[in-house]
Structure 1
Amino acid sequence: MYLIPLLLPILTVFIVGLSFKFYTRDFAISFIFSSLVISLLASLFLIYEVVYLNSTCYIAFAPWFKIGTLVINWSFLFDKLNTIMLFVVICISLCVHLFALDYLGHDPHLSRFMLLLYIFTIFMQVLVTSANLIQLFLGWEGIGLMSYLLINFWFTRYEASNSGLMAIIYNRIGDCDLFLGVSLILFIFKTMIFISVIFFNLYSNIICIYIFNYSFNVIDLITLCFIIGAIGKSAQIFLECWLASAMEGPTPVSSLLHASTLVLAGGFAKLRLSNIIENSFFGMSFLVILGSITSFFAATSVLFMTDLKRVIAYSTCSQMGYLIFCIGLSQYNISLFHLVNHSFFKCLLFIGAGFIIHALSNEQDLRKLGGLFKVLPYIYILIFFASMALMGLPYLSGFYSKEKIFLESSFYIFNNINLLAFWLGSLSALFTAIYSTKLLYLSFFYKPNNYKLNYFKYFHFENKIYLNLILTFLGLGSVFSGYLLSDLMIGNSTDLFLYNYNNINFYYLDFHLGNLNINLLALFYTLIGFSCAFILFSDFINEIFVSSLISYDLYDKKLKYQLSYKEIYDFFSNRWYINYFYNRFLLLNFFLFIGYHYSFLLMDQGYIHNGLGQLYIIRSLRHFLELSIKFMQTKIIDELFLIFFINYFMIICFFNIDFFHIIYDLFQFNFNNSNNILVIGLIFFFAVPKKKNNKKKKIN
């Protein structure tokens, strides 16, 4: 039963992949959905067995490879963290597969898309159930490869092709750092199994590595490698540039990437290795700073975006910043709780956005939407609840996790770094409310700005039963998941990460019980952000404000005054110029400069072509043969005879022929030996004078 969610999908891929020529497309899709449903039921059994009955299971399935004393098996670990993540991945994947069946129903390559989507889910399942680092790295690389294939699904489009390349290149930076961290763990602990790493980690805090006579704590180095690896995969600041371009892929891909797989893989890896991160003070502080800055960066950047899918995508980046910020505070239960809640309402937001885009003839510019409240009422209700959960409205799913994040972060405001992180997280919550309200208002309540035909045509996809079922399920999850799972995941008796609790929480237990007003911060920022957005985007408020309080002259001056802030607008709308910095300075002035002057001119055209490379050897040999043949074909007979005699002399020396005996025979006038005749010919060649050619060359 434990291996059904893993082995059944792999078997399904082989059956569908090998028999696609013999069966119809409907058979392959039905087989995939049947496998997903059975896997979901098996994961529900695992939730009962592992989480409720508290029975952790380790399965060594089969040997993989052996190098010396290192033995790696195909092994799976089913503890509370793995089981919860496995259920979330399969559940969200099933919803996305059902949505993709309608969204790409008329695409001739639907079977290929569904198979790629399913393989993507399999690699994520391998990642979350892995019991060793090598298997985790295999799943990590697999989801990176499948993300490229899915983003680049419409490969004939130039933007989609570039977006896929950008995603895999940025992820490769994180992959290299993750591989370095895995190598360091193997070098220090001599094992790859998580259980063994947890045991040896208790005694490794004093181990140092010397690099150029500088000592570095090995736990800090390992933590830094895993953090940078997660930055690339989770689209954190400085490595998030691929996130916006990844929206060129189909909407089901965006939903699966942001709700339960690729973006959340970095957060899961840090939760899986939390016992190592816990022993690194540098790593914890770095995570706090990274998460808070990322959350603030994404929230400010999305304020000025007008693309519907990119607004939702950067909200994922902001929420992942909260998750990493909370990991840095050693609150792993709350991070996992926020991850589960986020999966439900983020999947619902992307599917709702897909309905809007599909309905309005692939239009996703917020400025060209509007007036959809009466056209898509059910989609509006669902997106409204998902947006309210994203903002942290009380008693919705996002409120329970955000409220705990603010509460825990308020315990650590006694130094400057944590105080800055607390206020950046608070401002991010304010901006989240603003851009969520902006999305709702411009999409549903603003004046209609699209073609009239799109508003009056029949929207067939809203009437399909299975689509309404998955939308209702995700809507219920966005509303009730926080309330239903709070006691299970962040209750007082929760032992998901019992060995990782930071002792500092117990020092401020009285502060925890006395400061109950902190719980209202999420509601406060939601109300303030909603009010600010209503003032900024409501035409009715703007008309009243301008006509009653400001004359036309003052209004013109106000517009001129607002134009002075164009630099601030450009800074945030261009996402802090991070892309510009990469393209202008790193790419042009560093990578291309080094690649041309050192890699191409010095190495390729230098040492390889003119030095010791095989190309140089082949070219030199060819040049030597050309000169030899040219020399032999253009010289006179006596010079050719000289060359022949020199070669003959070298052969005599090579075969150890007695050269001095030949000279003695010559002095005795013994000409019976053929060698003596050749020597006489040589003497005659040098003794006979040559005629000089005194003719002058004609000058043309």
Structure 2
Amino acid sequence: MILYIVLLPLLAAIIAGLGNRMIGNVPAKIVTTGALFASCAMSWPIFLSFAFGHAEPYVAPVFTWIQSGSFDAQWALRVDTMTAVMLVVVTSVSALVHLYSWGYMDEDPDQPRFFAYLSLFTFAMLMLVTANNLLQMFFGWEGVGLASYLLIGFWFRKPSANAAAIKAFVVNRVGDLGFMMGIFGTYLVFNTISIPEILAAAPAMAGSTIGFLGHRFDTMTVLCLLLFIGAMGKSAQLGLHTWLPDAMEGPTPVSALIHAATMVTAGVFMVCRLSPMFETSETALGVVTFVGAATCLFAATVGTVQNDIKRVIAYSTCSQLGYMFFAAGVGAYGAAMFHLFTHAFFKALLFLGAGSVIHAMHHEQDMRYYGALRKEIPITFWAMTAGTLAITGVGIPLTTFGFAGFFSKDGILEAAYASGGGGQLAFLVGVFAALLTSFYSWRLVFLTFFGKPRWAASEHIQHALHDHGHHDHPADEDAGHAVHAHGHDVHGHGHHAPVTGTGGYHPHESPWVMLIPLIVLSFGAVFAGFIFHHQFIGAEEGGEFWRGAIAFDAHLMHAAHEVPVWVKFSPFTVMLTGLAIAWLSYIRHTDWPRAFVEQFSVLYDFLLHKWYFDELYNAIFVKPAFAIGRFFWKFGDVGFIDRFGPNGLSALVVQGGKVTRKLQSGYLYTYALVMLIGLAAAATWAIVR
């Protein structure tokens, strides 16, 4: 069965991709969507058998891939609890995104290509999570990178989409270099790339040293940090995070599938899969904790000032990934995977909900031009409210009542506190980030669905009314009409557009093919935490559920459940605080945001420019790289190679031709003289010899 789950999306991608417009839009959509729902239907029984049954892990061999000397890479599919969790996450979200895209991409001329890319991405992600060796994992790792590039740049006539796709590809190559070196080093140390064999041998390598960059370092620390660099790139951690917000240039379903639910969690999955390796190095775990906590804080602060609805959710993703990493860093791998699991549902819900809002508002993405939409698009409103309740962790402490994020995020914070040391610092950072998360999440809801309608100020809507009424889809973007992006200072530093009113435009609810995925994901956002929290993070049930798939620390999880009451109430308190600040600022006293910005303009600009990471990287890396490229082009390629190579030789031939042309006078006596001189020269040479 596992082989069918993995290969069905590949088969669908081949049929839709090669058939393209020859088979038409509807058959391509039916083939790809049907394949994903079939994979999803086969994945859930596997997961439930691990969660509530007594399923045993197994490996399904496929074929011998590479054999060279002692190097042996078998293509085999590993099925254990980790795989089962990722199977339902990947196939469920992907199937719903395929269905949602029937409505969202309805007027796009390249639908078969889009659906083929989606299915190709899903196949690559499934290859990654079922990998039984590091090379197979790397195949899936690079496959999702390629599919991500294709999907982010899907509207290739938009320069901004092309730039975002290239940026994602290049930044991920930096992380992939670390991942590759980690794989090479692991093979060098263990003489195998088989994940089970490496994990079994890892504890014996603790305390050994290895030569690296001319010095000797702890072996497992070097290997784990190199592997973690790969995770930082793929999962957009601080330093290699800059590609993720720009990736919003792709169609909204792409954002939901790749940059919220699946691909960006690959780094978390890899660290948890290799957790026995990381457990051998305190230093590596400390770095993972620090980077995760720093990313969590950074992205949450930036998310508070974003005006583009998709970018708010993108920075939210970045922040939530930070939670997952610092959970892994303190040794709570079960909590990290639990948050990965719940986050997939509520974050996909928020992204697809944002797509429904954008669809209703004729591709307007700036929240300052929304307002009062809850009565116009009620199903979208309630779905996004469910997602917001989940991401902000709404629930009642000391009970089992709460939305998905209440169980998974609180589980991480409690485990971080219980771990002591650096984990308690991560706990404090996580609590503050939870305050910011609550603020920017409710800010998004209040700006979008409450207050007065501010649609009249939107150029998108005025363009729609002026040109063709309700033209409902991004085909206009693909035709070369780049999305208009409102600058942050169009209306000064305030958060609201000055013009209120509808401008004669009436938003409309999305079609049912887009609403059904929202309703299904809403159930995940509401109930996933309540149903599965014992399996993922229960002190007793957790060990039975994971069955050795991760390094599960039952003592830590028991300690997490026994933390002081104030620790359990901290996330609840900051959630209410963030909600109150957002309500006061965007419902009760709408002049507060403008006053805050005027009072703290330096801080606002710092956050608005995303801590100036892009500007810094542009100055340190991008401009010097272009300058070096220009130098080699102008002086190396054109100035030297071309000048003295092909251009120089051709110029020499031309000049030689000009000289010899002067000898061609056309008179017979000239030629006779030349022949006579030639004969005399030849005779002289013969006589001299």
Tell me if TM exceeds 0.5.
Answer: yes
Partner of 1:690: none
Q: Secondary structure at the match of 2:529?
A: helix
CA distance in structure 2 between the aligned counterparts of 1:362 and 1:185, rounded to whole angstroms: 48
CA 392–623 in structure 1, closer or farther in 2 if over 3 Å, else same: same
1:339 aligned counterpart, secondary structure: helix
Question: Residue 149 of structure 2 contacts residue 169 of structure 2 at CA under 8 Å; is this kept in 1?
Answer: yes
Which ranges in structure 2 are unaligned for 5 or more consecutive residues? Answer: 396-401, 457-500, 664-669
The secondary structure found in structure 2 opposite 1:175 is: helix
Unmatched 5+ stretches in structure 1 = 547-557, 649-673, 683-700
In structure 2, how many angstroms separate the alpha carbons of the residues matched to 1:324 and 1:277?
12
Q: Which residue of 471, 494, 513 maps to 2:542?
A: 494
How far does residue 307 in structure 1 lie from its aligned partner after superposition?
0.5
Question: Aligned pair in 2 of structure 1 residues 604, 223: CA closer, same or farther (>3 Å)?
Answer: farther
- Aligned residue number for residue 471 of structure 1: 518
Distance apart, 1:136 and its partner CA: 0.9
Q: Give the structure-2-normalised TM-score.
A: 0.84
Q: How far apart, in 2, do the equivalents of 1:508 and 1:260 lie?
A: 25
Letter in 1 for 2:622: L
Distance 2:547 2:278 in 1: 13
CA 1:157/1:468 → structure 2, altered by over 3 Å: closer, same or farther? closer
Q: How big is the shift at 1:472?
A: 1.7
Q: Which residue of 1 aligns with 2:464?
A: none
Query: Is 1:399 matched with 2:447?
Result: no
For 1:26 and 1:629, how far apart are their aligned partners in 2?
A: 64
Q: Deviations over 1:420-468 (max 9, x none)?
A: 3222211101100110111111111121100466886472635x2x444
Offset at residue 25 of structure 1 (A): 2.5
Pair 1:535–1:459, CA change in 2 (3 A): closer
Q: Which residue does 1:425 correspond to in 2?
A: 430
Residue 312 (structure 1) aligns with: 313
1:568 to 603, 618, 630: 603
- The residue that corresponds to 1:375 in the other structure is 376
CA deviations 1:464-498 (Å, max 9, x no partner) are 2x444322211111011000011121122222275
Matched residue, 2:489: none
**Counterpart of 1:63 in 2: which secondary structure?**
strand
Letter in 2 for 1:430: L
State the alpha-carbon separation in 2 of the partners of residues 620 and 69 from structure 1.
Answer: 52
Q: Answer with 599-608 or 223-232: which moved more.
A: 599-608
> Identical aligned pairs, as a percentage?
32
1:126-182: CA deviation from partner (whole Å, max 9, x where unpaired): 111111111111111111111111111111112111111111111111122111111
Instruction: Assess if the C-alpha contact under 8 Å between 2:149 and 2:165 holds in 1.
Output: yes
Compare relative contact order (CA 8 Å, sep 6+) and give the higher one, 1 or 2: 2
The 5 Å alignment of 1:272-287 reads: 272-287=273-288
How far apart in 2 are the matches of 1:419 and 1:276? 23
Cα distance in 2 between the residues matched to 1:195 and 1:22: 45
CA distance in 2 between counterparts of 1:35 and 1:500 reads: 30
Larger deviation: 302-311 or 62-71?
Answer: 62-71
Amino acid at match of 2:604: Y
Q: Does structure 2 conserve the Cα–Cα contact (< 8 Å) formed by 1:2 and 1:46?
A: no
How far apart are the structure 1 equivalents of 2:364 and 2:152?
Answer: 19
**What is aligned with 2:528?**
481
Amino acid of the structure 1 residue aligned with 2:565: L
State which of 552, 569, 575 in structure 2 corresponds to 1:520: 569
Q: Does structure 1 retain, via aligned residues, the 8 Å contact 2:78–2:132?
A: yes
The structural deviation recorded for 1:419 is 4.1
SS at match of 2:307: coil
Equivalent-residue separation in structure 1 for 2:210 and 2:97 (angstroms): 46
Contact 1:275 1:499 in 2 (8 A): no
Could you say if the C-alpha distance between residues 508 and 23 of structure 1 is closer, same or farther in structure 2, counting changes exceeding 3 Å?
A: closer
Which residue number in structure 2 is paired with residue 301 of structure 1?
302
CA distance in 2, matches of 1:102, 1:454: 26
Question: Do the aligned partners of 1:259 and 1:344 also contact (CA within 8 Å) in 2?
Answer: no
Q: Which residue of 1 aligns with 2:448?
A: 443
Amino acid aligned to 2:145: G
What does 1:543-562 correspond to in 2, within 5 Å?
A: none
**Retained in 1: the 8 A contact 2:13–2:115?**
no
CA distance in structure 2 between the aligned counterparts of 1:148 and 1:126, rounded to whole angstroms: 18
Aligned 1:301-700 pairs, distance under 5 A: 301-394=302-395, 395-414=402-421, 417-451=422-456, 457=506, 459=508, 461-462=510-511, 464=512, 466-491=513-538, 492-495=540-543, 496=546, 498=548, 501=551, 506=555, 513=562, 515-538=564-587, 540-541=588-589, 563=598, 565-588=600-623, 590-596=624-630, 599-600=632-633, 604=637, 678=685, 680-681=687-688
Deviation digits for residues 566-621 of structure 1, max 9, x if unmatched? Answer: 11111111110000101123322x43444455x557865798679xxxx75x7787
State the distance in 1 between where 2:306 and 2:536 align. Answer: 35
Counterpart amino acid of residue 423 in structure 1: L
Residue in structure 1 matched with residue 476 of structure 2 by the alignment = none
Letter in 2 for 1:39: S
CA gap 1:619/1:106 in 2 versus in 1, 3 angstroms: closer
1:333–1:497 contact (8 Å) kept in structure 2: no
Cα displacement string for residues 381-405 of structure 1 (whole angstroms, at most 9, x for unaligned residues): 1111211111111111100011111
- Aligned residue for 1:37? 37
Q: Secondary structure at the match of 2:204?
A: coil
Taking structure 1 as reference, are residues 609 and 85 closer, same or farther at Cα in structure 2, changes over 3 Å only? Answer: same
Could you say what secondary structure the match of 2:225 adopts?
helix
Change (3 A) 1:678 1:6: same
Change in CA separation of 1:461 and 1:49 when aligned onto 2, cut-off 3 Å? same
Residue 378 of structure 1 deviates from its aligned partner by 1.8
Bigger shift: residues 44-53 or 16-25: 16-25
Which 10-residue stretch deviates more, 395-404 or 490-499?
490-499
CA distance in 2, matches of 1:130, 1:494: 23
- More moved, 446-455 vs 279-288: 446-455
Q: 1:23 to 1:535 in 2, by over 3 A?
A: closer
Q: Deviations over 1:631-682 (max 9, x none)?
A: 9999999xx99x999x99xxxxxxxxxxxxxxxxxxxxxxxxx9xx746447
Distance in structure 2 (CA, Å) of the matches to 1:455 and 1:86: 46
The normalised TM-score by structure 1 is 0.82
Counterpart of 1:531, as a letter, is A
Larger Rg: 1
| Aligned residue identity for 1:11 | L
- What secondary structure is seen at the aligned counterpart in 2 of 1:461? coil
Task: Tell me the distance in 1 between the aligned counterparts of 2:261 and 2:436.
Answer: 24
- 1:286-320 Cα offsets, whole Å, 9 max, x none, are 01110111010001001111010100111000000
Residues 11 and 208 of structure 1, relative CA distance in 2, 3 Å threshold: same
Measured against aligned partners, the alpha-carbon deviations of 1:318-367 in whole angstroms (never above 9, x if no partner) come to: 00000001010111100110011001111111111111111111111111
Going from structure 1 to structure 2, the CA distance change for 1:215 and 1:604 (only over 3 Å counts) comes to: farther
Task: Classify the secondary structure of the residue corresponding to 1:62.
Answer: strand
d(CA) in 1 for partners of 2:236 and 2:225? 16
Equivalent-residue separation in structure 2 for 1:409 and 1:423 (angstroms): 9
Aligned residue pairs, count? 628
Q: Which amino acid aligns with 1:579?
A: D
